[in-house]
Amino acid sequence: MNKKLKSIKVEIGNKEYRLTGEPELIEESRSVVNGQIDLLRMSNGKQNGDTLSVLAALNIAEEKILFEKQTRNQIQSTINEIEKLTEFADSLFAK
């Protein structure tokens, strides 16, 4: 299914941007970024907008990296379990 890309205006960190992509995905991404900026603004109110934007990007990147590591670990754990079950099944049929 090919989604239609559109150019839309969004506000991120009190700045307006024109972005091209899937509008729903852009809006959801904008919301996540603005949420991070708002959280940082509450705890680091003295930082300027550019610094808050960079900190928000780093936080989001960290969450992505941790999620990917967790997913890889879960996949490896599942593979290990499948290998153990395969070995067990093979041992049953070898008798």
State pLDDT tens for residues 14-62: 899 999 999 999 999 999 999 999 999 999 778 888 899 999 999 999 9
The predicted model gives 70-86 an average pLDDT of 98
CA–CA dist 92, 61 (Å, integer): 47
pTM over 0.95: no
The predicted model gives 71-81 an average pLDDT of 98
Q: Looking at the domain assignment, is residue 12 inside a domain?
A: yes
Q: Say what the pLDDT of residue 1 is.
A: 55
Give the count of domains, the chain: 1
Q: Looking at the domain assignment, is residue 72 inside a domain?
A: yes
Q: Looking at the domain assignment, is residue 1 inside a domain?
A: no
Quote the domain boundaries for residue 76: 6-93
